[in-house]
Structure 1
Amino acid sequence: MNAHKAATLQWVMLLVLTAVTVGLSELGMSGRAVIFPVLAATLVKGRIVIDRFMALQGIAGPWRWLVLGWLVVVLGSITYAFR
């Protein structure tokens, strides 16, 4: 798969995941029933943005892990707050 097609596919995935989370909110779902699917979608979206659009996928060293770690800490804090 060429780079242009891969970027387009990942962009479409971002749109679909955003639509799913918005759809869950429009259905009136809230609380524990929806927090884990939304956070999972956020983790996937964050990983796509970090790897593809911030161009950290091929970077060696601490930068990629620092940014991914920050994402996990934020999502973990949100999960802890809603437990």
Structure 2
Amino acid sequence: MSRRREPVPFAFLTEGDTFRSNVTPPPRQRGSFGEIAGRWLLALTVVAGLVGALLVGMPALSTPADPPTPQSQASQGH
């Protein structure tokens, strides 16, 4: 996107893109053991669900190796 270099009435709005604050945010707090274990358990549950759905759905997606041979009524011997 091209920027205009001519003066604009609200010059402070264009300067806001380049403004850098000298205030550093506070350091991130580490999660407790329970929170980290909960996140891992949730991720493991989601992955296990996806793998399980894939395993259950694989037979429906695969084509049979040999098509069944049609049998006629006369050869059954009734």
Tell me, yes or no, whether TM beats 0.5.
no
- Report which of the two has the higher share of helix: 1
Higher normalized contact order (CA 8 Å, seq sep 6+, divided by chain length):
1
